[in-house]
Chains A and B, each alone.
Chain A
Amino acid sequence: MKLRFPALMMLVIIFISMLAACGDASTLTPQATQGQSTTAPAATATEAPATGSTDATAEPTAAATTDTGSTSSDGKVFLTVSDQQQSTWVRNFNPFASDNRWPTAAGIYEPMFIYNIATGKIEPWLATEWAWNSDNTELTFTIRDGVKWSDGEAFSSKDVAYTLNLMKDNEKLQGNGRAAMRFIDTVTADGNKVVVKFKEVSTIALYDIGHQMIVPEHIWSKIADPVTFTNETPIATGPFTEIIRFQDQIWELGKNPNYWQAGKPYIDGIRQPAYPSNDAANLATINGENDLASNFIPDVEKTYVAKDPENNHYWFPPVNAPVMLLLNTTKAPFNDPNVRKAISMGFDRQQITEIATYSYNSPSDATGLPESFADWKNPEAVAAGDWVKFDVEKANAMLDAAGLTRGPDGIRVLPDGKPMTYDINVVSGWTDWVTTDEIIAESLKEIGINATTRTYDFSAWFDKVQKGEFDMSIGWSNNAPTPLQFYRGLMSGETADTPIGEANGDNWHRYGNPKVDELYSQFVKTSDPAEQKKIMNEIQMIFVQEAPAIPIMPNIYWGEYNTKRFTNFPNEENPYVLLSSFAQPDRLILLTNIKPK
């Protein structure tokens, strides 16, 4: 014992210093902020230099022991996908649960339509058409003919009505339709039509209802408690429904024998190995073992594409809602729009995209809308939003005009004598965010604000941000089929008055504007696209004038693919759908279009 104890202490000390070192060398061990981040110490392997001898297939041992090629023992063609970081799989295909295996909502069960983020279009799926009545109190879906459940039973409008009613009656069930439930009065099936009657008009509920995964009534009506049901053998309408094998470290999903799209899917199934970290997943992707992955890979050209330029490809479209700099608008001086705009002008977005995200994306404009909302964008608002341009001189002038004079040390002082010294909160380990944070903090010194990067563990960061207990923080924003949720999440009067210390789902900086609330209620009452666009133009203008929160850059949908065994993946030339699994249910379109070579 005498000897072991100091040895142990040493181990602990080295361990801690190692972890600290890992944190410092953040740019070398980046992790994605999109849905999958890891706090595990990063393996050096992700930045593997391209030293010739690592082609796995050429090496007998690697090939023999990691036999994860496309063909399984019976000669079927399986797509190997890296998704959902887990060390072991729990068998759960319940579409109403939060932790189901990803194909549950993107391959097994299907919605009535799919809003395709990549094209901005709605693609009919289990429903062929839908229409509002004249005063938008009734929404009617026409259900597709000839669809069968994987057990051979016919799919009908009754299943749709059953699913929606099930969710309406049991508020513990989660799903895309949840947000619409509070507006719905009744849901009834009539022939091949489903009629949804609203007690409160909300036309954006269309997207929530349309995206809800539909379950078979003849199975689910016999389930005692759908909340805790793990649904180990799903019966569904999707392209892949058969669980071929399910082991702790790998599982395989096969074709639906009764799929309604003739000839599709082209591939025999999906194979999903368990990778407990980004690094483990990237190692496999770089090694050519994954056909499709949606992980963040640092310096992807060098680490991935260069290893096999013919087959290794990536597509990182920056079309997700932007990363924001949030300023707590309940506190002075952040309640002054001019101060918010000046801060926004105090840092260089171009520099941030180049350093923090390897130029994978480009800066946001003042509306904050990503390119996927190009049709919604108000050019006037974009032009009026000069406060996203890097302009230290103008920023300084605006802060001077706001009465924030510089103290003797160059730091500006509030009228009450408090110096402008703030922390910018960020999640530790989310390296692109941390780098962004550091660049902003450094730049703000030029305009007399003493800002410091402050990293928190994820749950601590989220606790602070949702309770409004921060001055400045990096944060994400809402993403939905219309820009409405994005703006609503940043300037809704309903959530602005939540006291500091109480949690808010969004609007963490607590900005409210009665004009926006008014426009919001107008928007959800109309189903006329031209009218909606007009209202959205006004909302954008308010956002640009008020700068309630500061957009930095759009988030990226990560996606890598290997064309050694499969073709017809989407990319920049053929952007028919996103690669990333974070885009659900878009993946149904992807999985029904990939072809074996």
Chain B
Amino acid sequence: MRFLLRRLGFYAVAAWVSLTVNFYLPRLMPGDPASAIFARFQGKLRPEEIDSLRKAYGLSDAPLLEQYGTYLKSLSRGEFGISINFFPAPVTTVISTGFMWTILLAGLATVISFFLGNVLGIIGAWRRNGILDSVAPPLLTFIGAFPYFFLAMIALYFLAFQAGWFPLRHAYSDALSVNWGSLTFIKSVVSHMILPAGCIVLASIGGWMLGMRNTMVGILSEDYITMAQAKGLSQKRIMFSYAARNALLPNVTSFGMALGFVLSGSLLTEIIFAYPGLGYLLLQAVRNLDYPLMQGLFLMITFAVLGANLLVDILYVWLDPRTRR
């Protein structure tokens, strides 16, 4: 229990640091949001209108420290403010349009990648120098070296545009309405997800496999495995309950961290596949200096990563009895 409490304290500090960075970092960028909006119209808006924009957005000239105080106060009340780029929609409304799709895409892709990667790693180590063991790790590491969006562009061009096997964009067919009870809709969601999720899985699976395989190899030479073999336990039991359970520990730790990378990587993949997630929102927020939206999105991402790590910590306690005290 003390272990978990200590972790919780650590997360609280991490959350505060990220809140502060979220506040200051965007404001270090040159320019101001009203000019950015004004500029979007390229000479179509009159200079008179820029003052009107500034007033409507409620942009403040108060010292940064004072603004920081207001920001913390409104956050504690759960208020994220009004997006500047999507004015007058509140940040929460803007984020909610894409939140579900990003979580679905990134979450599912990470879980699939983690599961597949580890199983491949286990089998690879078990049948060391077999075909799987000699071909998969270098190949997957090679593919993993490509950025997600690069794989995504190639997949989009050849598999969706040229071959026409997959839809070109969006999370479901435009002809359908969102209805999770309908089989047609779910089928459509799955067919739209294969390419983007596939790209993320392909790009991230190599690390999992390699990590798992190498730890497995070390553990398989431990005495207690030999002991288990001598006892005549079933091969399956030795492989999964004896070796894999222990070898999994380092990978579980990195799972929490990977979620953050996958989330940021999937943002680019989303833009390529015109997936209605948060990726383009973030790009727009940064480009237009939309401070409230940037804060909201970064906060969401950091909290997602922190939350995932907390879950991992709890899982760890369950997986590894040595951490229980």
Contact = CB atoms under 8 A, between A and B. Distances in A.
B39 A458 contact: yes
Interface string A273-292: 11111001001100100000
Contact of B42 (A14, A34, A276, A284): A34
A275 B274 contact: yes
B169 A172 contact: no
B253 to A, nearest CB: 7
B198 interface: no
B173 A87 contact: no
A61 B31 contact: no
A185 B97 CA distance: 43
B31 A66 contact: no
A115 to B, nearest CB: 13
A277 B280 contact: yes
Given A174-B52, A230-B89, A463-B35, A66 B147 contact: no
B149 A276 contact: no
B36 A173 contact: no
A277 B97 contact: no
Contacts of A249: 170-172, 174, 274, 276
Given A274-B170, A276-B279, A463-B30, A65 B188 contact: yes
B191 A459 contact: no
A67 B173 CA distance: 7
B10 interface: no
A87 B147 contact: no
Contacts of A54: 161-162, 164
A473 to B, nearest CB: 13
A192 interface: no
A43 B150 CA distance: 9
Contacts of A530: none
Contact of A505 (B37, B50, B147, B253): B50
A535 to B, nearest CB: 20
A41 B152 CA distance: 11
Nearest to B277: A87
Interface stretch (A94-102, A214-222, A375-383, A395-403): A94-102
Interface string A163-189: 000000001111000110110000000
B289 A459 contact: yes
Nearest to B40: A35
B164 A59 contact: yes
Given A65-B192, A88-B281, A459 B47 contact: no
Nearest to B41: A35
Interface stretch (B206-214, B231-239, B297-305): B206-214
Given A45-B157, A249-B171, A87 B98 contact: yes
A99 B87 contact: yes
A319 to B, nearest CB: 14
Contact of A88 (B97, B178, B287): B97
A7 B41 CA distance: 42
B89 A90 contact: yes
- Chain B contact residues, majority secondary structure: helix
B48 A283 contact: no
B320 interface: no
Interface stretch (B1-9, B17-25, B70-78, B265-273): B265-273
If over half of A's interface residues share one DSSP class (helix, strand or loop), that class is named, otherwise mixed; here it is loop
Interface string B85-98: 11111000110011
Given A48-B161, A459-B36, A280 B153 contact: no
A179 B46 contact: yes
Given A3-B210, A62-B164, A88-B97, A171 B274 contact: no
B262 interface: no
A72 B177 CA distance: 12
Interface in A54-71: 54, 56, 59-62, 65-68
Contacts of A61: 164-167
Contact of A53 (B43, B53, B162): B162
Given A94-B88, A227-B56, A247-B177, A178 B280 contact: no
Contacts of B325: none
Contacts of B270: 87, 276
Which of A8, A15, A89, A287 counts the most chain B CB atoms within 10 A?
Answer: A15
B322 interface: no
Interface stretch (A365-373, A474-482, A564-572): A474-482
Given A171-B52, A230-B89, A284-B169, A15 B276 contact: no
B29 interface: yes
A15 B168 CA distance: 24
A503 interface: yes
B48 A182 contact: yes
B101 to A, nearest CB: 7
Contacts of A8: 261
A97 B166 contact: no
A303 interface: no
Contacts of B279: 87, 276
A275 B93 contact: no
B201 interface: no
A458 B287 CA distance: 7
Contacts of A154: none
A476 B41 CA distance: 10
Contact of A250 (B49, B174, B192): B174
A68 B145 contact: no
A250 B167 CA distance: 15
B49 A87 contact: no
B33 to A, nearest CB: 9
A278 to B, nearest CB: 11
A4 B204 CA distance: 11
A92 B86 CA distance: 9
B292 interface: no
A459 B289 CA distance: 8
A73 interface: yes
B85 A99 contact: yes
A1 interface: yes
A3 B211 contact: yes
A44 interface: yes
B168 A172 contact: no
A11 interface: yes
B104 interface: no
Contact of A90 (B53, B97, B141): B97
Contacts of A247: 177-178
A98 B49 CA distance: 10
Among B42, B146, B166, B270, the most chain A Cβ lie within 10 Å of the Cβ of B42
B48 A178 contact: yes
Residue among B36, B149, B188, B271 having the largest count of chain A Cβ atoms under 10 Å: B271
Contacts of A67: 173-175
A68 B31 contact: no
B250 interface: yes
A86 interface: yes
A489 B278 CA distance: 38
B25 to A, nearest CB: 14
A1 B253 contact: yes
B283 interface: yes
Given A43-B157, A227-B56, A459-B31, 15 more contacts: A7-B207, A10-B145, A11-B144, A39-B287, A41-B149, A48-B161, A65-B192, A66-B168, A66-B169, A174-B52, A249-B172, A249-B276, A280-B169, A459-B35, A459-B289
30 contacts: A1-B250, A11-B147, A33-B42, A35-B40, A40-B280, A41-B149, A44-B153, A53-B162, A61-B166, A66-B169, A73-B175, A87-B279, A88-B277, A90-B89, A179-B46, A227-B88, A228-B82, A247-B177, A248-B101, A249-B174, A275-B169, A276-B280, A280-B272, A283-B169, A459-B31, A459-B36, A464-B30, A476-B42, A489-B47, A495-B47
Interface of B: 29-32, 35-44, 46-53, 55-56, 82, 85-89, 93-94, 97-98, 101, 141, 144-147, 149-150, 153, 156-157, 160-162, 164-175, 177-178, 188, 191-192, 207, 210-211, 214, 250, 253-254, 261, 268, 270-272, 274-281, 283-284, 287-289
- The 8 A-B pairs at the shortest CB distance, nearest first, are namely A505-B47, A87-B280, A59-B164, A459-B31, A276-B280, A88-B97, A172-B56, A179-B46
